Amino acid sequence: MSEAGTGSAVDVVIVGAGAAGLSLAHRLTASPGPGGRPASLVLVEPPKGSPGRSPARTWCFWGDERDEFDSLVTARWHRLRITARDGHRVCFTSPRAYQMIRSVDFLHGVGGLLARRPGVRRVEATVDQVRDVPGGAEVTGHDAAGRPVRLHARWAFDSRPPRELPPARTTLLQHFRGWFVTVRADRFEPGVADLMDFRTAQPAQGLSFAYVLPFNRREALVEYTEFSTAPLTESAYDAALEDYVHRVWRPAGHVVTAVEQGIIPMTDGRFPRSAGESVFRIGVAGGATRPSTGYAFAAIQRQSAAVAVSWHAGRTPRPPMPHAARHRLMDAVMLRALATGRAGGAAFFEDLFRRNPPERVLRFLNGTSTLRDEWAIGLGTPVPAMLRSLLELPLLPRRKATACP
Ligand SMILES: Cc1cc2nc3c(=O)[nH]c(=O)nc-3n(C[C@H](O)[C@H](O)[C@H](O)COP(=O)(O)OP(=O)(O)OC[C@H]3O[C@@H](n4cnc5c(N)ncnc54)[C@H](O)[C@@H]3O)c2cc1C
């Protein structure tokens, strides 16, 4: 098997050096591969400034000091808060810290580790196609100058964000814009994060909340997030943020130093993890996004760890489904109840935290809940609405999503 340009053989090509691509490259090459020799791996990322390249972002997840990428964590919060529309607060200590990694730090940190591994090579190219060929996979694309790039490998992992969403019974979007703000007077409690503050103006359909992650007493990331069917314009997000900041914080003055914006599909569609005998999809493209929450980073870590274990053991490194079947079912029911308006937007989440110990809800959000947790959570939801949504699921066709990622 040869790699165009060099004629060398590679075990693995990974398309995309984002959360999934870098995590998998790191785990595959951290120790020798099957037969005791180091993996030969090519990581492909579009050239700097090209439109396909994912913008910088922050990733939050629950973790602790034992985690693989702990040294890259920018900030962590042990106290978490949920604030209802009427100002009622649930505040609790999370057994595992809620923590943030900035994608630029991840890129440098993991990229630095990979640069010291002899079998790893980085290629700057925009990939157009990843397909099976006899004995392996072929990755084709073009570099910054438009010259064709062709790579061959035994296995290819594709993390390019999907262009369209899979057919689904329900598709909502989690869409948001965040400001990194500095305020003039002490305002924030470092170590305390507002996971959901519903004192935002609520949209006519769906729901909205603010998400506030302080870095110190005067600096924080504040995001306006909606779960609905269509994203807003930049100015509409800014107006919603301005409204929240002025009504709720009443700051003496604030400066926006940077912004982060994104759309995360919340869908019960199935993302195929195989695109051939030797071609697999990973990350968001491989179904890592939890439909009910939009979180994907923790699932990406579980998925890449499992792929690496299979590959090191000499087995087919097919990515596993990163979310348990019963979580996917609960999420499908919840999405349906929210999308049809049977479960009432902000009230649904406010009640979830009022009626359950917060630790139980956190385990659910984090994908570590037990059957008992889920049963208790289910009983605390509007049962007729959820039951109706559950019963109609088998009758609903999976339709092409009209919402775009
Ligand atoms: C703004 C934002 C904030 C988020 N915050 C969180 C969070 O706090 N917690 C959480 O759990 N999840 C979060 N998510 C969801 C998810 O974790 C992220 O989207 C995460 O980056 C997904 O990782 P990925 O590797 O699948 O995709 P990406 O990180 O987007 O990586 C895909 C890679 O493919 C590359 N690529 C694209 N096209 C091509 C091409 N043609 N050829 C070669 N390479 C290509 C891109 O440049 C990129 O490096 C967030 C998502 C967004 C958009």
| Residues at CB less than 6 angstroms from ligand 1 | 15-21, 44-46, 52-54, 57-61, 126-127, 141, 159-161, 260, 262, 264, 283-284, 295-297, 300
The set of residues, in sequence order, having a beta carbon less than 8 Å from that of 131 and lying 6+ positions away, is 137, 138, 275, 276, 279
User: If you search the block for the tokens 């050096």, which residue do you land on?
Assistant: 17
Q: Is residue 318 part of a domain?
A: no
Does pLDDT of 3 surpass 80?
Answer: no
Same domain, 127 and 28: yes
What pLDDT was estimated at residue 5?
Answer: 40
Atom of ligand 1 nearest to the CA of 263: 53
Instruction: Please tell me whether residue 39 adopts helix, strand or coil conformation.
Output: coil
CATH number where 294 lies: 3.50.50.60
Same domain, 178 and 257: yes
Does pLDDT of 7 surpass 60?
Answer: no
Same domain, 17 and 116: yes
Same domain, 279 and 259: no
What pLDDT was estimated at residue 9?
Answer: 74
How much is the average pLDDT of 284-307?
96
Contact yes or no for 99/62 (Cβ under 8 A): yes
How much is the average pLDDT of 261-285?
96
161 alpha carbon to ligand 1 midpoint, in Å? Answer: 7
What pLDDT was estimated at residue 380?
Answer: 86
What pLDDT was estimated at residue 207?
Answer: 95
Instruction: Please tell me whether residue 375 adopts helix, strand or coil conformation.
Output: helix
DSSP letter at 274? B
Residue nearest to ligand 1 atom 10, measured at CA:
295
Residue nearest to ligand 1 atom 5, measured at CA:
59
Q: Is residue 61 part of a domain?
A: no
What pLDDT was estimated at residue 1?
Answer: 37
Report the chain's terminal Cα–Cα distance, integer Å.
36
The pLDDT confidence band at residue 403, using thresholds 50, 70 and 90, is: low
- The β-bridge partners of 127 are 141
Residue nearest to ligand 1 atom 21, measured at CA:
19
What pLDDT was estimated at residue 307?
Answer: 98
Contact yes or no for 137/158 (Cβ under 8 A): no
What pLDDT was estimated at residue 4?
Answer: 41
Q: Is residue 86 part of a domain?
A: yes
Mean pLDDT score of the chain: 93
296 alpha carbon to ligand 1 midpoint, in Å? Answer: 9
What pLDDT was estimated at residue 402?
Answer: 66
CATH number where 212 lies: 3.30.9.10
Instruction: Please tell me whether residue 236 adopts helix, strand or coil conformation.
Output: helix
287 alpha carbon to ligand 1 midpoint, in Å? Answer: 12
Q: Is residue 202 part of a domain?
A: yes
Pairing of strands 192-197, 120-124: unpaired
Contact yes or no for 370/232 (Cβ under 8 A): no
* Residue 259: burial class (beta carbons within 10 Å; 0-12, 13-18, 19+): middle
Atom of ligand 1 nearest to the CA of 53: 47
Same domain, 112 and 250: no
Instruction: Summarize pLDDT for 322-373 with one digit per residue, the tens.
Output: 899 999 999 999 999 999 999 888 999 999 888 999 889 888 888 888 989 9
* Residue 344: burial class (beta carbons within 10 Å; 0-12, 13-18, 19+): middle
How much is the average pLDDT of 20-44?
93
Q: Is residue 249 part of a domain?
A: yes
The pLDDT confidence band at residue 8, using thresholds 50, 70 and 90, is: low
111 alpha carbon to ligand 1 midpoint, in Å? Answer: 16
Same domain, 34 and 121: yes
Choice from 22, 261, 284 to test ligand 1 binding pocket (greatest atom count within 8 A of CB): 284
How much is the average pLDDT of 102-129?
97
Instruction: Please tell me whether residue 130 adopts helix, strand or coil conformation.
Output: strand
Helix axes 19-29, 103-115, angle to 10 degrees: 30
Instruction: Summarize pLDDT for 180-204 with one digit per residue, the tens.
Output: 999 999 999 999 999 999 999 999 8
d(CA 358, CA 53): 37
What pLDDT was estimated at residue 362?
Answer: 86
The pLDDT confidence band at residue 67, using thresholds 50, 70 and 90, is: confident
What pLDDT was estimated at residue 34?
Answer: 84
Atom of ligand 1 nearest to the CA of 127: 42
- Give how many domains the chain has, as a whole number: 3
Same domain, 49 and 137: yes
Q: Is residue 317 part of a domain?
A: no
What pLDDT was estimated at residue 404?
Answer: 53
Same domain, 259 and 138: no
325 alpha carbon to ligand 1 midpoint, in Å? Answer: 24
Q: Is residue 281 part of a domain?
A: yes
Same domain, 183 and 289: no
Token code pair at residue 265: 């599909």
Which of 139, 95, 127, 97 has its CA nearest to residue 1? Answer: 139
Pairing of strands 192-197, 73-83: parallel
Same domain, 283 and 364: no
Same domain, 91 and 192: yes
Does pLDDT of 405 surpass 60?
Answer: no
Stretch (H or E) spanning 251 = none
68 alpha carbon to ligand 1 midpoint, in Å? Answer: 19
Instruction: Summarize pLDDT for 107-117 with one digit per residue, the tens.
Output: 999 999 999 99
Instruction: Summarize pLDDT for 365-384 with one digit per residue, the tens.
Output: 888 889 899 999 988 889 99
Domain that holds residue 344: 325-395
How much is the average pLDDT of 276-290?
97
Same domain, 281 and 345: no
Q: Is residue 3 part of a domain?
A: no
Helix axes 345-355, 325-339, angle to 10 degrees: 130
Atom of ligand 1 nearest to the CA of 176: 1
18 alpha carbon to ligand 1 midpoint, in Å? Answer: 6
Weakest-pLDDT range from 8-12, 30-34, 227-231: 8-12
